[in-house]
Amino acid sequence: QTKPDKRPPGSGKGTQSPIVKDEYCLCHLATGDMLRAAVTAKTPLGIKAKEAMEKGELVSDDLVIGIIDDALKKPSCQKGFILDGFPRTVVQAKKLDEMLARRGVKVDKVLNFAIDDAILEERITGRWIHPSSGRSYHTKFAPPKVPGVDDVTGESLIQRKDDTAAVLKSRLEAFHKQTKPLGKFIKLNCNSVVAGKVSIGMVIDYYSKLGVVANLHAEKTPQEVTVEVKKALS
Protein backbone atom coordinates (compact mmCIF):
# COMPACT_ATOMS: atom_id res chain seq x y z
CA GLN A 1 0.00 0.00 0.00
CA THR A 2 1.61 3.25 -1.06
CA LYS A 3 0.36 6.79 -0.83
CA PRO A 4 2.65 9.42 -2.29
CA ASP A 5 1.53 13.00 -2.24
CA LYS A 6 2.26 16.02 -4.37
CA ARG A 7 1.67 19.39 -2.80
CA PRO A 8 3.20 22.86 -3.00
CA PRO A 9 5.52 24.16 -0.25
CA GLY A 10 3.61 25.08 2.91
CA SER A 11 0.38 23.44 1.76
CA GLY A 12 0.29 21.23 4.86
CA LYS A 13 1.85 17.96 3.75
CA GLY A 14 4.20 17.82 6.75
CA THR A 15 1.23 18.56 9.02
CA GLN A 16 -1.10 15.90 7.60
CA SER A 17 1.44 13.13 6.88
CA PRO A 18 2.02 12.11 10.52
CA ILE A 19 -1.78 11.77 10.97
CA VAL A 20 -2.06 9.52 7.90
CA LYS A 21 0.97 7.57 9.07
CA ASP A 22 -0.64 6.79 12.44
CA GLU A 23 -4.10 6.10 10.99
CA TYR A 24 -2.87 3.54 8.44
CA CYS A 25 0.32 2.26 10.19
CA LEU A 26 2.55 3.47 7.36
CA CYS A 27 6.05 4.86 7.46
CA HIS A 28 6.46 8.54 6.59
CA LEU A 29 9.25 9.30 4.14
CA ALA A 30 9.77 13.04 3.73
CA THR A 31 12.62 13.81 1.33
CA GLY A 32 12.94 17.37 2.67
CA ASP A 33 13.30 16.12 6.28
CA MET A 34 15.84 13.46 5.22
CA LEU A 35 17.85 15.99 3.20
CA ARG A 36 17.84 18.53 6.06
CA ALA A 37 19.10 15.84 8.46
CA ALA A 38 21.90 15.02 5.99
CA VAL A 39 22.82 18.71 5.68
CA THR A 40 22.98 19.09 9.49
CA ALA A 41 25.10 15.93 9.81
CA LYS A 42 27.35 17.12 6.94
CA THR A 43 27.19 13.72 5.23
CA PRO A 44 28.35 13.48 1.57
CA LEU A 45 24.67 13.62 0.55
CA GLY A 46 24.09 16.70 2.72
CA ILE A 47 27.14 18.48 1.32
CA LYS A 48 25.84 17.91 -2.23
CA ALA A 49 22.25 18.98 -1.41
CA LYS A 50 22.93 22.05 0.78
CA GLU A 51 23.34 24.75 -1.86
CA ALA A 52 20.23 23.89 -3.90
CA MET A 53 18.11 23.59 -0.76
CA GLU A 54 19.17 26.94 0.63
CA LYS A 55 18.32 28.58 -2.70
CA GLY A 56 14.93 26.85 -2.81
CA GLU A 57 15.82 24.85 -5.90
CA LEU A 58 15.31 21.12 -6.37
CA VAL A 59 18.26 18.86 -5.64
CA SER A 60 19.24 16.39 -8.36
CA ASP A 61 16.91 13.52 -9.19
CA ASP A 62 19.68 10.97 -8.60
CA LEU A 63 20.22 12.09 -4.99
CA VAL A 64 16.57 11.92 -3.94
CA ILE A 65 15.89 8.70 -5.85
CA GLY A 66 18.82 7.13 -3.97
CA ILE A 67 17.52 8.14 -0.55
CA ILE A 68 14.00 6.87 -1.29
CA ASP A 69 15.33 3.56 -2.65
CA ASP A 70 17.33 3.08 0.57
CA ALA A 71 14.47 4.17 2.83
CA LEU A 72 11.99 1.76 1.24
CA LYS A 73 14.16 -1.10 2.51
CA LYS A 74 13.46 -0.20 6.14
CA PRO A 75 11.46 -2.90 8.00
CA SER A 76 9.02 -0.22 9.19
CA CYS A 77 8.11 0.57 5.55
CA GLN A 78 7.15 -2.94 4.52
CA LYS A 79 3.43 -2.49 5.38
CA GLY A 80 3.18 0.65 3.23
CA PHE A 81 4.43 4.20 3.17
CA ILE A 82 3.47 7.80 2.62
CA LEU A 83 5.87 9.81 0.49
CA ASP A 84 6.02 13.50 1.40
CA GLY A 85 7.78 15.72 -1.14
CA PHE A 86 8.56 12.90 -3.56
CA PRO A 87 8.26 12.43 -6.53
CA ARG A 88 8.64 16.05 -7.64
CA THR A 89 9.62 15.49 -11.27
CA VAL A 90 8.45 13.03 -13.91
CA VAL A 91 11.90 11.43 -13.87
CA GLN A 92 11.41 10.73 -10.15
CA ALA A 93 7.86 9.44 -10.74
CA LYS A 94 9.06 6.98 -13.36
CA LYS A 95 11.91 5.79 -11.15
CA LEU A 96 9.44 5.37 -8.30
CA ASP A 97 7.31 3.12 -10.52
CA GLU A 98 10.37 0.99 -11.22
CA MET A 99 11.31 0.77 -7.54
CA LEU A 100 7.76 -0.20 -6.61
CA ALA A 101 7.42 -2.72 -9.43
CA ARG A 102 10.54 -4.48 -8.12
CA ARG A 103 8.77 -4.78 -4.78
CA GLY A 104 5.47 -5.88 -6.33
CA VAL A 105 3.51 -2.81 -5.13
CA LYS A 106 2.09 0.32 -6.75
CA VAL A 107 0.93 3.84 -5.98
CA ASP A 108 -2.57 3.72 -4.46
CA LYS A 109 -3.31 7.41 -4.14
CA VAL A 110 -1.81 10.83 -4.84
CA LEU A 111 -3.08 13.67 -2.67
CA ASN A 112 -3.06 17.00 -4.47
CA PHE A 113 -3.38 19.83 -1.94
CA ALA A 114 -4.65 22.69 -4.06
CA ILE A 115 -3.92 26.09 -2.52
CA ASP A 116 -3.37 29.66 -3.62
CA ASP A 117 0.26 30.85 -3.52
CA ALA A 118 -0.82 33.99 -1.62
CA ILE A 119 -1.71 31.93 1.48
CA LEU A 120 1.65 30.22 1.63
CA GLU A 121 3.90 33.10 2.65
CA GLU A 122 2.17 33.56 6.02
CA ARG A 123 2.26 29.81 6.63
CA ILE A 124 5.94 29.49 5.79
CA THR A 125 7.25 32.54 7.64
CA GLY A 126 5.32 31.59 10.83
CA ARG A 127 6.47 27.97 10.85
CA TRP A 128 8.59 26.39 13.61
CA ILE A 129 9.67 22.76 13.40
CA HIS A 130 10.95 20.02 15.68
CA PRO A 131 13.79 18.69 13.50
CA SER A 132 14.14 15.13 14.84
CA SER A 133 10.42 14.25 14.52
CA GLY A 134 9.54 16.59 11.61
CA ARG A 135 6.57 18.02 13.59
CA SER A 136 5.44 21.43 12.26
CA TYR A 137 4.01 24.25 14.34
CA HIS A 138 2.84 27.76 13.44
CA THR A 139 2.93 30.83 15.66
CA LYS A 140 -0.66 31.69 14.68
CA PHE A 141 -2.32 28.61 13.17
CA ALA A 142 -0.83 25.75 15.20
CA PRO A 143 1.05 27.18 18.21
CA PRO A 144 2.94 24.83 20.54
CA LYS A 145 1.73 24.71 24.17
CA VAL A 146 4.93 26.51 25.25
CA PRO A 147 6.37 28.95 22.68
CA GLY A 148 9.51 27.57 20.99
CA VAL A 149 9.16 24.11 22.57
CA ASP A 150 7.99 20.77 21.08
CA ASP A 151 4.78 19.54 22.76
CA VAL A 152 5.90 15.88 22.86
CA THR A 153 9.61 15.95 23.76
CA GLY A 154 10.04 19.39 25.36
CA GLU A 155 12.96 20.02 22.98
CA SER A 156 13.56 23.35 21.25
CA LEU A 157 11.90 24.23 17.97
CA ILE A 158 13.83 25.84 15.12
CA GLN A 159 13.03 27.75 11.93
CA ARG A 160 14.14 26.33 8.56
CA LYS A 161 16.80 28.27 6.64
CA ASP A 162 14.63 28.19 3.50
CA ASP A 163 11.55 29.57 5.30
CA THR A 164 11.99 33.17 4.18
CA ALA A 165 9.74 35.05 1.76
CA ALA A 166 12.63 35.32 -0.74
CA VAL A 167 13.50 31.60 -0.80
CA LEU A 168 9.79 30.69 -0.87
CA LYS A 169 9.60 32.46 -4.26
CA SER A 170 12.20 30.05 -5.69
CA ARG A 171 10.51 27.05 -4.08
CA LEU A 172 7.18 28.01 -5.65
CA GLU A 173 8.87 28.56 -8.99
CA ALA A 174 10.35 25.05 -8.82
CA PHE A 175 6.95 23.64 -7.89
CA HIS A 176 5.10 25.36 -10.73
CA LYS A 177 7.70 24.44 -13.32
CA GLN A 178 8.42 20.88 -12.35
CA THR A 179 5.54 19.45 -10.37
CA LYS A 180 2.30 21.21 -11.26
CA PRO A 181 0.98 21.26 -14.84
CA LEU A 182 1.19 24.71 -16.39
CA GLY A 183 0.55 24.21 -20.07
CA LYS A 184 3.58 25.41 -21.88
CA PHE A 185 6.42 25.33 -19.37
CA ILE A 186 9.63 23.97 -20.77
CA LYS A 187 12.19 23.72 -17.99
CA LEU A 188 12.43 20.15 -16.73
CA ASN A 189 15.05 18.11 -14.94
CA CYS A 190 15.82 16.25 -18.14
CA ASN A 191 17.17 17.00 -21.57
CA SER A 192 14.14 16.17 -23.66
CA VAL A 193 12.40 19.46 -24.19
CA VAL A 194 10.83 20.17 -27.57
CA ALA A 195 10.42 23.72 -28.89
CA GLY A 196 8.46 25.31 -26.07
CA LYS A 197 6.29 22.31 -25.36
CA VAL A 198 6.64 19.90 -22.51
CA SER A 199 7.69 16.61 -23.97
CA ILE A 200 7.32 14.33 -21.00
CA GLY A 201 4.56 15.94 -18.96
CA MET A 202 4.29 17.01 -15.34
CA VAL A 203 4.01 14.95 -12.21
CA ILE A 204 0.34 15.64 -11.60
CA ASP A 205 -0.51 14.89 -15.25
CA TYR A 206 1.42 11.69 -14.92
CA TYR A 207 -0.68 10.51 -11.98
CA SER A 208 -3.96 11.94 -13.34
CA LYS A 209 -3.62 9.62 -16.30
CA LEU A 210 -3.35 6.73 -13.87
CA GLY A 211 -6.58 7.87 -12.17
CA VAL A 212 -5.11 8.00 -8.66
CA VAL A 213 -5.21 11.74 -7.89
CA ALA A 214 -7.50 13.13 -5.16
CA ASN A 215 -7.85 16.92 -5.19
CA LEU A 216 -8.18 18.51 -1.76
CA HIS A 217 -8.88 22.02 -0.42
CA ALA A 218 -5.64 22.80 1.38
CA GLU A 219 -6.66 26.35 2.33
CA LYS A 220 -9.12 25.02 4.92
CA THR A 221 -8.22 24.56 8.60
CA PRO A 222 -5.85 21.69 9.50
CA GLN A 223 -8.77 19.77 11.03
CA GLU A 224 -10.95 20.20 7.92
CA VAL A 225 -8.07 19.14 5.70
CA THR A 226 -7.59 16.00 7.82
CA VAL A 227 -11.24 15.08 7.19
CA GLU A 228 -10.68 15.46 3.43
CA VAL A 229 -7.48 13.42 3.55
CA LYS A 230 -9.16 10.56 5.40
CA LYS A 231 -12.10 10.62 3.00
CA ALA A 232 -9.73 10.49 0.00
CA LEU A 233 -7.92 7.49 1.45
CA SER A 234 -10.93 5.57 2.71
H helices present in 41-146, as ranges: 44-55, 61-71, 90-103, 117-125
123 catalytic? Reply is: no
Closest of 62, 85, 82 to residue 11, by C-alpha: 85
The values of phi and psi at residue 46, to 5°, are -60, -40
160 tagged catalytic: yes
Q: Is 55 known to be catalytic? A: no
Count of alpha carbons within 13 Å of 149, Cβ hemisphere only? 7
Residues, the chain: 234
Interface residues with ligand AP5 (CB under 6 A)? 7, 9-15, 31-32, 35, 52-53, 56-59, 64, 85-86, 88, 92, 123, 126-127, 136-138, 141-142, 171, 220-222, 225
Q: Which of ligand AP5, Zn ion, none does 127 bind, CB closer than 5 to 8 A by kind? A: ligand AP5
Find the binding residues for Zn ion in span 6-65 (CB under 5 A). 14
Residue among 161 and 209 whose Cβ is closer to Zn ion: 161
Number of amino acids touching Zn ion (CB under 5 A): 1
- Distance between CA atoms of residues 131 and 113, nearest Å: 23
Rounded least distance, CB 52 to ligand AP5, Å: 5
Our CB check for ligand AP5 shows the closer of 147 and 197 to be 147
Q: How many CB atoms within 10 Å of residue 115?
A: 21
Our answer to whether residue 171 is catalytic in this structure is yes
- Work out what residue 107 binds among ligand AP5, Zn ion, none; the CB cut-off runs from 5 to 8 Å by kind: none
Active site residue 102: no
Residue 210 has φ and ψ, to the nearest 5°, of: -85, -5
In the set 21, 36, 88, 177, the catalytic residue is 88
- Least distance (Å) between residue 186 CB and Zn ion: 27
Residues 6+ positions from 161 with CB-CB distance below 8 Å: 53, 54, 167
Report the interface residues with Zn ion, using CB under 5 A.
14
The residues that are catalytic are: 13, 88, 127, 160, 171
